[in-house]
Amino acid sequence: MSQAFDVVVIGGGPGGYIAAIRAAQLGFKVACIDEWKNAAGGPAPGGTCTNVGCIPSKALLQSSEHFDHANHHFADHGISATNVKIDIAKMIGRKDAVVKQNNDGILYLFKKNKVTFFHGRGSFVKAVEAGYEIQVTGAKEELITGQQIILATGSNARALPGVPFDEETVLSNDGALRIGAVPKKLVLIGSGVIGLEMGSVWRRLGSDVTILEGLPTFLGAVDEQIAKEAKKAFDKQGMKIELGVKVGDVKTSKKGVSVAYTNAKGEAQSIDADKLIVSIGRVPNTIGLNAEAVGLQLDERGAIVVDAECRTSLKGVWAVGDVVRGPMLAHKAEEEGVAVAERIAGQHGHVNFNTIPWVIYTSPEIAWVGETEQQLKARGAAYKAGTFPFLANGRARALGDTTGMVKFLADAATDEILGVHIVGPMASELIAEAVVAMEFKASAEDIARICHAHPSLSEATKEAALAVDKRTLNF
Ligand code: FAD
Ligand code: NAI
């Protein structure tokens, strides 16, 4: 007799494990199935985000930033640090330990919330009267049923056509997070989020980094003024970013890799490197779900088709996170997971796509929420803009990091905040205020009238809000 659950979640990444916890909080009998294995073959829930994404990348960004500071910025504070060395094995070991803490944390949360965890692959067998029969294939084979199914099977790195990842020389995000020694020369294809974050890690550690980007514009989804400022900072750091290239043959050898490409002027070029990271986007993952058995509808990209509330084409089957439309972000996956669990419980779960923040954890950090200036122009919106540079912020000066600015975009008539864009120190944390403000439909003046601690970087946010009305106090 198979075990019966009210809710079965397939995938234990941020979309899946959060959905499982929320469903359990709401009183359902919940199972979560996840197949990710740690090095010892044991369970490692948390998905891409925890194992080869958000968490390990931020651990390496932190380590490499310390190294960069010791080499280049300590001296400004009167601290001499000569002959600074990096032990890559230790740095990677620390990153792995951080990952394990997160895996263990999720297993603990499952126990705490009485979520039954299955380590293995979950696949559809058939629809039954009580919902769906799901096969779990892992160390043990089990058959379970779920009245409601939440699919949260995530995404995989997209490879260049004909250039599979070997994770030795041609690396996806997985290999990029466990390079054993600083590559002398590193080439990345794609100057999106992963390209910039991973490029930053290895540049700070000493690699000669070149990023080849297909599009003629740098960070096209980012507000142009912010992207321009960020590009200036990356150029200054020596990260070479070539825009408008067309990548040709990629040849690997014992010595490394050679990438042929045509540059923006149409000239044939080639570049040799020790390692190549391919970061050209990700593809939704439904491998192994046996979606055909139940007739689950996928779109032309392989994403599970869902409506605005994450309902799939099948009754009682929902899908969230990277495997469906929308931005591939951990917090978007989490919000969808919570909303779906609440909808199953008859509540009104809601995800506001207009207030999902984006953060690129480079130095300077880039963060934004809402519309960009180019989007406002494109839709003919009447808007006001206000910017404030960190150069004029006391805390930024004290930190020794005055790159960048905060930019506000507000409706010309109502003053409602339409977008906030930040490039600079701690942009990842500063953006939260803007998200709250936009969620509450605040005006720029609301922020301008709020008391912000002094000295703090958040004063730059207040000043940018004041700038919308052309009345900054410190600039
Ligand atoms: P995933 O995290 O991919 O989880 C899916 C899980 O399902 C996996 O564990 C997988 O093994 C399992 N699975 C799949 N099929 C089955 C099956 N049939 N049976 C059982 N288990 C299955 N986002 C951010 O918001 N901030 C960041 O800083 C950030 N940094 C990133 C850095 C990198 C290098 C990468 C690659 C991504 C980053 N992301 C970041 C994106 C983020 O990782 C994803 O958006 C997020 O993980 C999506 O969550 P998910 O639950 O949809 O899928
Ligand atoms: P991306 O979509 O951010 O960037 C891919 C880049 O590659 C684009 O600029 C694209 O124009 C370029 N490109 C595509 N094909 C190309 C080709 N053949 N040749 C040259 N350039 C090409 O994707 P990325 O960086 O792989 O990251 C995947 C997703 O993971 C992101 O979209 C994001 O959702 C998530 N992520 C989020 C992070 C965060 O929130 N801080 C960090 C890392 C990843």
Confirm or reject: Cβ of 44 under 6 Å from ligand 1.
no
As a whole number of angstroms, the distance between CA 354 and CA 335 comes to 13
Report CA(323)–ligand 1 centroid distance (Å).
9
In the chain, the amino acid numbered 355 is T
Q: What are phi and psi of 213, to 5 degrees?
A: -115, 135
From the CA of 358, give the closest atom in ligand 2: 40
Report how far residue 26's alpha carbon sits from residue 385's, in angstroms, rounded to the nearest whole number.
Answer: 43
Sequence-ordered list of residues with C-beta below 8 angstroms from that of 110, at least 6 positions apart, any chain: 17, 20, 21, 32, 45, 116, 117
Q: Is 264 in the pocket of ligand 2 (CB under 6 A)?
A: no
To test the pocket of ligand 1, the residue of 50, 153, 365, 429 to mutate (highest count of ligand atoms within 8 Å of its CB) is 153
How far is Cα 207 from Cα 202, in angstroms, rounded to an integer? 5
- 454 belongs to the catalytic site: yes
What are the tens digits of pLDDT across the range 397-453?
A: 999 999 999 999 999 999 999 999 999 999 999 999 999 999 999 999 999 999 999
Which pLDDT score, from 0 to 100, does residue 104 have? 98
Tell me how far apart the alpha carbons of residues 273 and 250 are, in angstroms, rounded to a whole number: 11
pLDDT-above-90 percentage for the chain? 99
Structural domains in the chain, CATH included, are 3-157+283-351 (3.50.50.60), 170-280 (3.50.50.60), 355-467 (3.30.390.30)
Do residues 150 and 311 make contact, with C-beta atoms less than 8 angstroms apart?
Answer: no
Ligand 2 center–CA 219 separation, angstroms: 10
pTM (2 decimals)? 0.98
* CA-361 nearest atom, ligand 1: 28
Q: Would you call 295 exposed, middle or buried from its count of C-beta atoms within 10 A (0-12, 13-18, 19+)?
A: exposed
User: Which ligand is the nearest neighbour of the Cα of 247?
Assistant: 2
Task: Using the structure block, give the residue that is written with the tokens 């950090």.
Answer: 365
> Residues of the chain whose pLDDT is less than 50?
none
Q: What is the pLDDT of residues 297-331, one digit of tens each?
A: 999 999 999 999 999 999 999 999 999 999 999 99
Q: 231-265 burial, b if ≥16 CB within 10 A, otherwise e?
A: bebbeebebebbbebebeebeeeeebbbbebeeee
* Residue 1: predicted pLDDT: 63
Q: What confidence score (pLDDT) does residue 73 get? A: 95
Which tokens belong to 275?
A: 């390692």
| pLDDT value of position 264 | 97
| Whether residue 213 has its Cβ less than 6 Å from ligand 2 | yes
Q: Does ligand 2 have an atom closer than 6 angstroms to the CB of 191?
A: yes
